[in-house]
Structure 1
Amino acid sequence: MRGPSSIDIAGVHDGAGHAFKQTATETAAWAPGRYWWTLRAASADSDVIELETGELLIAPDMVAADTFDGRSEAETALAAIDAVLGKRATIDQERYRINNRELYRMSVSDLTKLRAHFVALVARERRKAAGQSGWGRTIPVRFS
């Protein structure tokens, strides 16, 4: 597996297949984050075949963590946009210059468009987590 760190696990022959086992002590050292994995088989003469690939998320150990933020990236981005919009109500400049340095701020209309995008993403994530369709309500249709 490759992600925040490299994790290599060798399979052990187990009857008709192979088993991949790690103890809790071994997995406790794994860095949390998004990983991409590949399952490969190697023959005695060093031929290698990639059998399957995928992606997984190793979550942090909430018991061992001092703090934990379980929000998705979309939820974090939405909160940041809301914070900017909240502060923007007291700031009326979109651009200013101090000693040859300029700061451009995103317009409120652009921020509200971006916010709408992330609201939809968060709603889709929450529907999916609740076991509902990621695309919204299902409407049955019959053609005759």
Structure 2
Amino acid sequence: MTLIMRGPGLIDLAASGQDENHLLHALASTTANWKPGHYRYELRVSDGDDVLAAATGEVRIAPDLSSQTAGVDSRDHVRKVLDAIEAVIENRASIDQQSYQINNRSLQRTPLGDLLKLRARYRAELSAKKAARKGRGFGRTIKVRMS
């Protein structure tokens, strides 16, 4: 069994084990050199002749938190966008102009209804990410049968 990950870096992990049970393991000294970012992964199983893709997906490798400096914005994309949308909605309460023009420049504001739809979409995406962290992903048992 081999885990192949491709993204900012190239990561290949061979599983240890035999028969039905395999374990993917990497030492901290190895993972310290992994580049942070989004990776596509494929878990491949082989019986010596045939190769089967048992699982595929995406995973994000986060930077080492202990190496981050003070003031780092550690929010992910979904949280940053959701916070920005909510800030615009909050400021909208004191601004009642939809658009205005000064000389040859004009500004159109996003309609409040569109902002509320965007907020609902990003809230749903954030909820899905939180649910995914509560048990899905690596660490689960994947049963594969080679014929």
After TM superposition, is the score higher than 0.5?
A: yes
Return the offset for 1:64: 1.3
Please say if residues 16 and 24 of structure 2, whose CA atoms lie closer than 8 Å, have aligned partners that are also in contact: no
Matched residue, 1:26: 30
| CA RMSD across the alignment | 3.7
Q: Which runs of 5+ in 2 are unaligned?
A: 136-147
C-alpha distance in 1, partners of 2:13/2:125? Answer: 38
Identity of aligned residues (%): 38
Q: How many residues align?
A: 126
| Structure 1 residue 94 corresponds to structure 2 residue 102 | no
| Structure 1 residue 112 corresponds to structure 2 residue 125 | no
Matched residue, 2:60: 57
Matched residue, 1:9: 12
- Calculate the TM-score normalised by the size of structure 2: 0.59
Matched residue, 2:141: none
C-alpha distance in 2, partners of 1:54/1:2? Answer: 11
C-alpha distance in 1, partners of 2:40/2:66? Answer: 25
Task: Identify the structure with bigger relative contact order (alpha carbons < 8 Å, sequence gap 6+).
Answer: 2
C-alpha distance in 1, partners of 2:86/2:133? Answer: 24
Q: Which runs of 5+ in 1 are unaligned?
A: 133-144
C-alpha distance in 1, partners of 2:127/2:36? Answer: 25
Which amino acid in the other structure matches residue 98 of structure 2?
E
Higher strand share: 2
C-alpha distance in 2, partners of 1:75/1:103? Answer: 26
